[in-house]
Chains A and B, each alone.
Chain A
């Protein structure tokens, strides 16, 4: 059954006619060609498909696109503003938190949702917040450090 779905992705409105069984991940990658959202386990175990829906991190592999109708979706492509990287993106570069990079879009989006709620986290809280995002390259350490760095930058920005 085809359904008509209006999606708001990174501030852009899309009107799509899709099969009802299609996941948000599938629609983002193959209809909107937003391949920054990655595909892997398709079972909500690895987190590479993480996107934000109304600011909340979700595994887009287990969300039907039709249920995201009318909600604000943010993918990694929507994080930088006017070519200026989000502090998380910059911190991931500066800290050497990126290796192969495949988990990184999901990791950064999980971290963003977390920092929006917890501006001054402990390392332990960061690790818990990222437990649903597997990374096989980094051992997570530089990722945790990068999230701390970004948190500092964001706190400074908020004070301004």
Chain B
């Protein structure tokens, strides 16, 4: 028993799902894996009157890896971990997914849930930010697509309208000599909400020396998971020396706006950013060069 009293709806199409959501507005919540939603209900943080289960809605669990990358909103962390196409340049996706909770959570938790829950410490979301992800939302007034970065507004807060369902995440395919990496710090080696986490992506020039494109995204050090553009700009067009990576870390740490809480102090979080960013970039560098 969750202690909540809600009506349960089980639509069988996206249209029906958003129709229900539109009808009940703020009183409704979509239910996918439930690993965040049910905890929030049981802790009394939210008390929806209507829960709209997405288990029978088709078209949400697809994974597309030819050219652009598309993850249906209902794709589970488990699926990401087991998608062979994510073994190479997109390994950061697997690294972000495989550290979420225990395997019981990853077996049911979804991409859309991780995004819409809008935890500043979400592990997968920085990777998606580093991959320039767009989110597609279906609503009663049709579909819209916007960048993930613009979609995230604050802790627990996104640009999603009450009637909208996050149906897919789309990322452009990576050019050659690109790689991703994800690193996190926490007090334990598993089952951790990140104290700080970092996702990075690099694209190298043909010589494997100079940076053509860089993306750096952080978790748990700002009101949302964030990209640090200043650090990215400092790398692009530059040779990827150890000093350059360190400088990117310093810029990222400067851009971070961490808080102090029971898990860590703001100062330590900032410090971790300055350490993890160069390490994640270094991993990207090694991986990108390794492809050649």
**Does A touch B (CB under 8 Å) in the complex?**
yes
Point out residues on A near B: beta carbons under 8 Å.
1, 3, 19-23, 26, 42-45, 47, 50, 56-59, 61-64, 66-67, 110, 113-114, 128-129, 131-133
Chain A residue numbers with a CB within 8 Å of B107 are: 56-58
- A interface: dominant SS: mixed
| B105 contacts A by Cβ under 8 Å | yes
User: A44 near B104 (CB under 8 angstroms)?
Assistant: yes
> How far, in Å, is B189 (CB) from chain A's closest CB?
8
Which of B30-38, B61-69, B170-178 faces chain A?
Answer: B30-38
> A62 near B35 (CB under 8 angstroms)?
yes
In the complex, what's the smallest C-beta–C-beta distance from A23 to chain B, in angstroms? 6
B8 contacts A by Cβ under 8 Å: yes
B34 touches A131 (CB 8 A): no
User: Are the CB atoms of A64 and B34 closer together than 8 Å?
Assistant: yes
Can you list 13 A-B contacts with CB-CB less than 8 angstroms, sorted by A residue number? Answer: A1-B5, A19-B1, A20-B8, A22-B2, A43-B43, A44-B104, A56-B78, A58-B104, A62-B34, A62-B39, A110-B104, A132-B105, A132-B190
With A21-B1, A64-B8 as known contacts, state yes or no: A110 contacts B103, CB within 8 Å.
yes
User: Which B residues are CB-close (under 8 A) to A66?
Assistant: 8, 10, 53
| Interface presence of B25 (CB below 8 A) | no
Is B190 in contact with A21, judged by CB distance below 8 angstroms? no
Contacts of B102 in A (CB 8 A): 44, 47, 59, 110, 131-133
Q: What 1/0 mask marks residues of chain B from 51 to 67 whose CB sits below 8 Å from any chain A CB?
A: 10101000000000000
Q: Which residues of chain B come closer than 8 Å to A20, judged between CB atoms?
A: 6-8, 51
* CB of B48 to closest CB in A, whole Å: 10
Q: Is B191 an interface residue (CB 8 A)?
A: yes
Complex alpha-carbon distance, A50 and B105, angstroms: 10
CB closest chain-A residue, reference B38:
A62
Residues in A whose Cβ lies below 8 Å from that of B2? 21-23
7 additional A-B pairs beyond A62-B39, A64-B38, A131-B102, beta carbons within 8 Å, are A42-B42, A43-B43, A44-B105, A59-B104, A62-B38, A67-B55, A114-B103
